[in-house]
Each structure stands twice: as structure tokens, then as C-alpha cells.
A and B are shown apart, each in its own frame.
Chain A
């Protein structure tokens, strides 16, 4: 069985974020794009790295469509975290880099006029409120960019996308 529509959307988000390279006209090469996992041996905070976290996947009944079976609407909320590590005694603010990193993340996601459809998987998408924050002990800085994706699936088959 193939992945659910929500999983396919997340994979597409990861794929788009991996396109943040100097060769693609960004100011940096993204160090890596990872997803939440419990194996801490696999992850280390690198400068210009990204972590993608799925927060919620909730129903939106007012966007359902008729049919047999009907198309039911869901809103998938992802948090895209961009990590910055400044060199010691750099003398500059990390917020400049975080602002530009968050903008680059939004640019990578909105990669075409039909970006919000994620290849016919979704019907709409938008960004939430960006947070600039620090780790508990200030070792790295973080821009968290929420991405909200609305998609429809068969009521009886969450693996089949509907428009």
C-alpha cells in the first residue's frame, strides 16, 4: 500500500526544502532536512539544517464535498524548524540569519504558481506565525515556520486524494 496523502504531502515538503542550495540561487546550502525521530544518534544541530515536525491533522467539515463516497477535508499542520549556529564571538545578531532563513524556507515551499496543490495532493496551503527562538541554553537559534495544508481524501480511503 502506498503512503497516505498526509505522508505524501510531508515527503513533498521535505523534497522542496532539500532544494535550498547555492546552485538554486539561495544564499546557503541546506545542511540536511530531517524528520522527528527518537534515535538521537542520527541528529546533530548543524548550521542551516532543517527539521520537519507534523503537529496536527484535523478535520474541516465545512470544506467537505459531496460524492459517493464523499470527499472529506483535513488540515495538516507542519512545523518547519530552521537551525542556525553562529560562530563564537561573531559580534552579529542571529536574528538577521533567522529572518533570511525563514524567508528561504517559504520560498522553497512556494516553488511554483500551483505550490499549494503539492502535485494534486492538496487544495490549499498557507503559512502560520513564524517564531524566532533559542535553544534552552542558547547553543543554537531556531526559526519555526508553521505550514498549514488543506487536502481532501475519499471518506472511505485516506490514501486517495480528491479535489
Chain B
């Protein structure tokens, strides 16, 4: 059961943060349902790493509203097939990246890592 803080933050803090700092990305559900444009907070600070095959991997952490219309709901996100398109560097054209891991689903945010 959500705490009072979580309920209040979801109602007021999350929409405010997304409105003030969000940028538009496109969510591509892996189940074949329609793509949708949503607002997201993106941390692009992660370094590029080499994976097991020696291929460089870009990593980012993204927060979106826990919503099936304005974000991605915690119950619909699938780290096996979902993808998002966003600018890896500000000003570039958007690139399509896989949603690899759900990091948290609290306070009205779904926070996930992409590669």
C-alpha cells in the first residue's frame, strides 16, 4: 500500500517534474500495439560500455509517468521487447533503443534503463 508521501508526490510532484523537465520520446510496445509519444526525464550521463561481444553500448536512465496514456504503466512495460526512440545527444535525430531493465515503479514514476 502506498504511503501518504508516495500518494502526494504522485499527484503533485510527478506531473510537475514531467511538465517542467520532460522531453518528448516515442514508446514502441513490443506487443505490437500502437506507438505513442510521451514526456520523459532522461539521464544521459552513463558511459558507453563494451558488451560480451565487444560491441559498444550506450546506456541511459529514463523516467516517465506511470500511465498507459501519458507515460508507460508499470504493468504494461516489458523488458523483453519494448523500445523507445529518443535523442542520444541533444539536437541529434532520435535513435531507437531497447528497454532493458525496470529500476523502480514508485511515486508515480516508472524508471527504467535502456541500452
Contacts and interface: CB of A to CB of B under 8 A. Distances in A.
Contact of A85 (B49, B80, B95, B97): B80
Interface string B36-65: 000000000000110111111110000000
A88 B78 CA distance: 6
A44 B77 CA distance: 17
A135 B98 contact: no
Contacts, number: 75
Nearest to B88: A41
A45 B56 CA distance: 11
Contacts of A147: none
Interface residues of B, number: 26
The prevalent SS among residues of A at the interface is loop
B97 A79 contact: no
Contacts of A34: 55
B52 A36 contact: no
Interface residues of A, number: 29
B98 A44 contact: yes
A87 B115 CA distance: 16
B98 A46 contact: yes
Interface of A: 34, 36-47, 51, 53, 79, 81, 85-88, 90, 133, 135, 137, 139-140, 142, 144
Given A41-B95, A88-B79, A88-B80, 6 more contacts: A44-B83, A45-B57, A45-B98, A85-B98, A86-B80, A87-B30
